[in-house]
Amino acid sequence: MDSNHMFAGVGIFVINKQDQILVGRRKDYNDFGLPGGKLEYLESVEEAALRELEEETGLKSSIEDIKVFKVANLVARKQSHAVSFYAALQIPENQTPENLEPHKSEDWMWVTWEEMMKLDLFYPLQVGLRSISPLKYDDIPALPSILIKEN
């Protein structure tokens, strides 16, 4: 690995009205993860979350509905370095997730917090869950969003 290589990514806790969380089985590591992915050049965390959400699930939301609430700096045995952002949003009941990237993951499913904690979870999600208690969308405090784009 190039010692200067790193990336930023976002995992999205999509929460329904029953406080269930959307997860899917990833095909690359055969574990469970959230919708999400890497930020693209010049993209805000919120923009990346919305883009990844729509690309992977077909679900749509707005910047105002995204709550970025945690950041983790993940350095895994000098093999990888990622800055992971964790965001949450609550979707309206009239939207249903679809698996739009079947080559990357199996179908999406709704699970409770307790059910999620029993799953074999994607490592960055395991790290992100440290110090987080069960999520209820209305109780999640958002970090201030700061994006400076200079011309």
Q: Is residue 139 part of a domain?
A: no
The 10s digit of each residue's pLDDT in 42-86 is 999 999 999 999 999 999 999 999 999 988 888 877 777 889 999
Q: From CA 90, how far away is CA 104, in angstroms rounded?
A: 23
Q: From CA 82, how far away is CA 108, in angstroms rounded?
A: 24
Look at the chain and report how many structural domains it folds into. 1
Q: Is residue 147 part of a domain?
A: no
Q: Is residue 138 part of a domain?
A: no
Q: Is residue 148 part of a domain?
A: no
pLDDT of residue 1: 39
Q: What is the CATH number of the domain that holds 64?
A: 3.90.79.10
Is the pLDDT reported for residue 139 higher than 80?
no
Its domain, for residue 75, covers 7-132
pTM (2 d.p.): 0.85
Q: Is residue 23 part of a domain?
A: yes
Q: Is residue 103 part of a domain?
A: yes
pLDDT of residue 108: 97
Nearest C-alpha neighbor of 14 from the set 115, 80, 97: 97
81 and 124 Cβ atoms separated by less than 8 Å = no
Q: Is residue 2 part of a domain?
A: no
Mean pLDDT value across residues 13-34 = 94
